[in-house]
Structure 1
């Protein structure tokens, strides 16, 4: 393979990526401060009280004195007075979230805003690193595992920031997003790093600008959905304990109690997965077309093709189960998490451990 046309730009890209990692680290500490040093909001603190009041109200409604009322046909009937309650189970309702949808107080909100500002700065540096790498190699910056990883983590951060702009209450994703982006970049710059090189002939195609970027975008969005599904599993168990007055530790109450409700997390994951599924389908189709152009066949059950299809089947089962069987809880979340694990096998496993026509990882 030929070396990059501009090694100076390649070095600049490396500096920008390392600088972005340093800023991501500061953002991570700010997110930790938001959750640890910021107290729970008034809404989060009053949820247990609301539950107790609702249970008392329902008990009063069932035990209230019966009164005689005159029916329409002149007969007398016994009725109990109706007591209006807020909710049968506030813990499982879509309760208003606190600052940043993390249920924190004003102090925590300040740390959260600082964290978002640092995340934005890190993203811009990250973007600069990816773009300068593309200019240096004079092609798309996703020709090996290092470039794919840096582009993937950039998409994850960018999607998170866009969601913040659109929804304004998804900051609860920040700690996990920034933490895993740091891990991904650390792995990319150490284990997966590859010197700037030109593409092998099979990859030198217009489909390189269609198939691979779509796979990166789909993976980044599916990752956000997977985070939501995992958090749903924890939050749902927390709410189940609230419903039966089970003993809940201080840590669980202060952390899980500040997440959005399980219904919100479940709906968030479903919307992302449902929106990405058509894009992932087109990504596989585009890959098949590219394979026919490069190797003379559309499909040969290569490990990369096989695991891409397995990932598609997993998410198809997830969407089908929700639409026909009505799975909206833990079963659906398990399917969503399994689907993303299949994507990770396709992402890391095939390129590193399998003998494949797609083994261009450069590892």
Structure 2
């Protein structure tokens, strides 16, 4: 089938545009993150001032005047908090708007890629990373709608941009028909389900990392550099809930992708399972996600222990994505990866 090079060029332009838009969203989200830090600092300063006033009122003593420039009175603090909060909210809204714009352009890039080649765009590692990052951004955009959740955007956008940069520079492949072995109706079904499951699993793993950070730096007890980084994050309970809910979706979707891949393997190679490196590591990754869910529901493991299993699952997925695809020789290595 002939390739429409005009549409392929449009797809590449949309890919680059999506990268630039996501980079802008990352910058806006970092500004929002810093402003949230400032709001929290002011709120805690107000709480400290209120506590001092209560102690003074309880003892019947007058409240000592604060040194000029060090502490503002409650009214002044309220004004400053409101101003900082309003500014932070603006940047949060801009981040969300720019993210959705990036997603629209990103989707356009994937669709144009497929139309230009006359096939589903699941033919090589460049296309796979483009799709898994697209699904990651779509899922994250829905999960991070609430204002208090938007501080997680820098932690999602950073790995997405890193993956897109790698895909667009080191792994880029020109639009072309796929090899005969991949010309099957099973390809979009198998790769699509694995991509969607993997993208949700990526969010789950990243949030588990933030959960471990928050457990190390509890709300109101943050110390040092990592304490400052953790300060704007939601509570450990909220982060744990997000990681758990996304993992609940990841396990059946990713598992379904593995099963569908086995069915396709039987049709293409005459066997359901051959312990190919990618098959094996994918199965190990699924086992780790399932083990996380089991540990998360087990007494004595509902803390950082379970979260570390989820983080290990994320590491296994990244290992499979790059090392297994690009270094280890196997039946899956022919898919335009080398």
Same fold, TM-score > 0.5, yes or no: yes
Query: Is 1:248 matched up with 2:246?
Result: no
User: Residue 150 of structure 2: which of 148, 163, 171 is its match?
Assistant: 171
How do residues 97-112 of structure 1 correspond to structure 2 at under 5 angstroms?
105-112=85-92
Q: Are 1:221 and 2:196 an aligned pair?
A: no
1:137-286 to 2 correspondences below 5 Å: 137-165=117-145, 167=146, 169-239=148-218, 242=221, 248-249=223-224, 251-286=225-260
The whole-number CA distance in structure 2 between the counterparts of 1:35 and 1:324 is 34
> Residues 314 and 335 of structure 1 are in contact (CA less than 8 Å); yes or no, is this contact kept in structure 2?
yes
Determine if contact 1:35/1:255 at 8 Å carries over to the other structure.
no
Residue 323 of structure 1: aligned partner:
297
Comparing 224-233 and 156-165, the one that deviates more: 156-165
Larger displacement relative to structure 2 (318-327 or 345-354): 318-327
Which whole-Å CA distance do the structure 2 matches of 1:47 and 1:144 have between them? 54
Please name the residue that 1:79 is paired with: none
Matching residue of 1:17:
15
Hey, what's the Cα distance between the residues in 2 that align with 1:202 and 1:47?
64
Corresponding residue for residue 75 of structure 1: none
Q: 1:253 to 1:316 in 2, by over 3 A?
A: closer
Alpha-carbon distance in structure 2 between the residues aligned to 1:201 and 1:307: 25
Q: Is the 8 A contact 2:136 2:202 kept in 1?
A: yes
Q: What's the CA shift string for 1:162-203, capped at 9, x where partnerless?
A: 2234x5542122112222222111111110001111121221
Alpha carbons 2:35, 2:88 under 8 Å: kept: yes
Indicate whether 1:362 and 2:315 are aligned: no
Which moves more between the two structures, 139-148 or 171-180? 171-180
Q: Secondary structure at the match of 1:324?
A: coil
2:79 corresponds to: none
Give the SS at the match of 1:198.
coil
Who wins on radius of gyration, i.e. which is larger? 1
Q: Does the aligned pair in 2 maintain the 1:303–1:350 contact within 8 Å? A: yes
CA spacing shift, 1:33–1:326, aligned 2, 3 Å: same
Are 2:113 and 1:115 aligned?
Answer: no
Query: Normalization by structure 1: what TM-score?
Result: 0.78
Q: Is the 8 A contact 2:219 2:231 kept in 1?
A: no
Contact kept in structure 1, 2:29 and 2:151, CA below 8 Å:
no
Secondary structure, counterpart of 2:215 in structure 1: helix
Report the count of equivalent residues.
Answer: 307
Q: Is the 8 A contact 1:153 1:181 kept in 2?
A: yes
C-alpha deviation, 1:275, in angstroms: 2.1
* Distance in 2 of aligned mates of 1:38 and 1:337: 26
The CA deviation string for residues 40-61 of structure 1, in whole angstroms up to 9 with x for no partner, is: 43698339948x97xx99xxxx
Alignment of 1:20-31 (within 5 A): 20-31=18-29
Q: Identify, as 1 or 2, the structure richer in helix.
A: 2
Aligned to 2:264: 290
Give the CA deviation at 1:126: 0.9
Distance 1:209 1:279 in 2: 14
The equivalent of 2:114 in structure 1 is 134
Match of 1:97? none
What TM-score, normalized to structure 2?
0.84
> What RMSD in Å do the two structures reach over aligned CA positions?
2.5
Unaligned 5+ segments in structure 1 are: 58-103
| Pair 1:348–1:44, CA change in 2 (3 A) | farther
